[in-house]
Structure 1
Amino acid sequence: MAEGTHMKKLRQASAFLVIGGLAFVVDAVTYNALVFWLDGRGPMFDAPVPAKIIAIVVASLVTYVGNRYWTFNDRHLPPKLSRYVLFVVFNLVAMGLQLGCLWFSRYVLGLDSVLADNISGTIIGQVLATAFRFVTYDRFVFPHENAPASERA
């Protein structure tokens, strides 16, 4: 890999992690507000999986905007329905990774504390989902496409 390409990938990975960190905060704050609120039992305490879905959807909007306009801003990306469909599909898979971690902790291990939910669904689930998103966004959602000759001139 050429030095310039290596530095470009490093910059993209760094930007992706910053956006991921912001999305992590949005996810965690949204989830904890819905499930635990201030007194330990939020409005969705008994529905942690739907609450996590809401939190992930809100955080996914942050990741799309941040990654499209910062992480992968060097790419010529004409509007395509397929790009949005792929974004949604890959985010559904990533959501499944996060929800699976939360579900396992809640319903298999029987853990329902703030700490357990945040370790399983927000930390472990988010790390797995973020790694998956980086690979799929880079290759499929925001791929390198050549600009038409009329735009290059």
Structure 2
Amino acid sequence: MPSPTQKALAKVPGPLRPFLVQHRSLVKFLVVGGSCFLLTVVINYGLKFTVCQSKPVVALTIATALATVVSYLWNKAWSFRSEGSHKEAIPFILVSAIAVGVNDLPLLASRYLCNLREPHVSHFTQEVADFMSGMILGTLVAMAFRYWAMKKFVFTTPRAGGDSAERHTEPPARVG
């Protein structure tokens, strides 16, 4: 009986299948990241237009931190198929803290180094600059850092018993 992953792969156009199989953890990481990006946008703007009106970096930091918790749970369970050990908690917290800072840097630079904020620019220009620097550029740079760091330092032990499309298998050795 085919696994859910095998059923899903059967629906993908033939030329794309080998790429998806070869880079499945990256593809899953990007799906989780895209979902968490949307969550970050919602939380960020919810905070930015209510309780953090004059503190856009605080709003982005809180939104990123909350989405990071969701990202951890999804990446642990699905993208990297990590076993349920607690040994990844400390490296995850360290990587995540650095990544939140990396995510904030473009917004800090835009707002306070380039002065892309009111009264130096219009409100519309400020909001476009905030979105492009904090949400787009910051997220892209932090995402690249997270993928590399999570794979290298956090989720290093694959989960046993994943379905056959999830495992890298070697052909059996010949005897004789």
TM-score normalised by structure 1 residue count: 0.80
Quick check: 1:72 aligned with 2:85? no
What corresponds to 1:17 in structure 2?
A: 30
In structure 1, runs of 5+ residues without a counterpart are 148-153
What corresponds to 2:133 in structure 1?
A: 120
Name the CA shift for 1:63/1:9 in 2 (closer, same or farther; >3 Å). Answer: farther
Conserved? CA contact 1:28–1:118, under 8 Å: no
Q: 1:7, CA displacement in angstroms? A: 5.4
Instruction: Provide the C-alpha distance between the structure 1 equivalents of 2:159 and 2:77, rounded to a whole number of angstroms.
Output: 17
Structure that is richer in helix per residue:
1
Equivalent residue letter for 1:72? F
Instruction: Provide the C-alpha distance between the structure 1 equivalents of 2:21 and 2:94, rounded to a whole number of angstroms.
Output: 27
Equivalent residue letter for 2:109? F
In structure 2, runs of 5+ residues without a counterpart are 1-17, 118-125, 161-176
User: Structure 1 segments of 4 or more deviating over 6 A?
Assistant: none
Conserved? CA contact 2:80–2:158, under 8 Å: no
Equivalent residue letter for 1:79? S
Equivalent residue letter for 1:97? V
TM-score normalised by structure 2 residue count: 0.70
What corresponds to 1:44 in structure 2?
A: 52
Partner of 1:85: helix, strand, or coil? helix
Identity %: 31
